[in-house]
A = this chain, B = another copy of it.
Amino acid sequence: MTVPQSSLFAAKAKHLGKSARSRARLIDAALAVFAREGLEAASVNEITREAEMANGTFYLHFKDKDELTSVVALSVAAEIVHEMDEAMADIDDAIERVSLGTRQFIHIASERLNWGWAFCQAFWVLPELRKEAGQYLRRDLERGVAQGVFSIRVDDFLVEMVSSLVNVALFARMNGTAGAEAGSKAAEMQLRMLGVDPDRAKQAAWRAS
């Protein structure tokens, strides 16, 4: 997936009703404007212009820029995790899946979203975003328990703790506290949390991918 991709969400909505299609065009337009200007500088005016819509149309779909930003963060997260999940279809080992999933998500989000910090903040405000990001992780945690490599009990709170490290690492990567190694560091800490032996955790988290 390339983010921003000028008509990704519009393409997905093309068989839906008019309202859903307009909404998708606004999401695509917002992604393009966020990428170009950054989130702070992006205005509703500019987003509607990018979408080739009248300004008033915006407010039929979103209360304000904040609401749009939340929806964009959610749409992008859903898209990234869905595509990653497909790309990892052949990987069975839960240790590798968690490590790769964390590293890839941070890599993709930090490389392509110059407004990634907004994504990080949205994570805490939007339970849907945590749920969306968490559902794939939850399956991998359950897989690891079934494979006997994770010594944990999987519940909502555990999923939030493990996925929060992805968010912290992305945030650190965006604000410069961490460099390109953020994903590997986060993955190593996650695997330790899950009960993986430190040597094995290190090996899985730092292997060239």
Interface residues of A, Cβ cutoff 8 Å to B: 120-121, 124-125, 127, 151, 156-158, 160-161, 164-165, 167-169, 171-172, 175, 177-178, 182, 185-186, 189, 192-195, 198
The one of B120, B165, B192 in contact with A192, judged by C-beta atoms closer than 8 angstroms, is B192
A160 to B151, alpha carbons, bound, how many Å?
24
How many copies of this protein are present in the complex? 2
Whether A186 lies near B171 (C-beta < 8 A) is no
- Shortest beta-carbon distance, A208 to chain B, in Å? 21
Contacts of A121 in B (CB 8 A): 121, 124-125
A177 to B127, alpha carbons, bound, how many Å?
11
Please indicate which of the listed interface residues A165, A182, A185, A193 has the most CB atoms of chain B within 10 Å of its own CB.
A193
Known: A121-B125, A186-B161. Contact between A195 and B195, CB under 8 A? no
Contacts of A182 in B (CB 8 A): 157
A192 to B108, alpha carbons, bound, how many Å?
28
Question: Smallest CB-CB separation from A173: which chain B residue?
Answer: B157
The one of B127, B158, B171, B177 in contact with A124, judged by C-beta atoms closer than 8 angstroms, is B171
- Shortest beta-carbon distance, A152 to chain B, in Å? 9
A156 to B198, alpha carbons, bound, how many Å?
21
- Shortest beta-carbon distance, A93 to chain B, in Å? 20
A140 to B195, alpha carbons, bound, how many Å?
22
Question: Smallest CB-CB separation from A172: which chain B residue?
Answer: B157
Whether B177 lies near A169 (C-beta < 8 A) is no
Whether A172 lies near B198 (C-beta < 8 A) is no
Contacts of A172 in B (CB 8 A): 156-157, 160
Please indicate which of the listed interface residues A127, A168, A195, A198 has the most CB atoms of chain B within 10 Å of its own CB.
A168
The one of B124, B157, B178, B194 in contact with A178, judged by C-beta atoms closer than 8 angstroms, is B157
Contacts of A189 in B (CB 8 A): 158, 161, 193
A156 to B171, alpha carbons, bound, how many Å?
13
A182 to B157, alpha carbons, bound, how many Å?
8
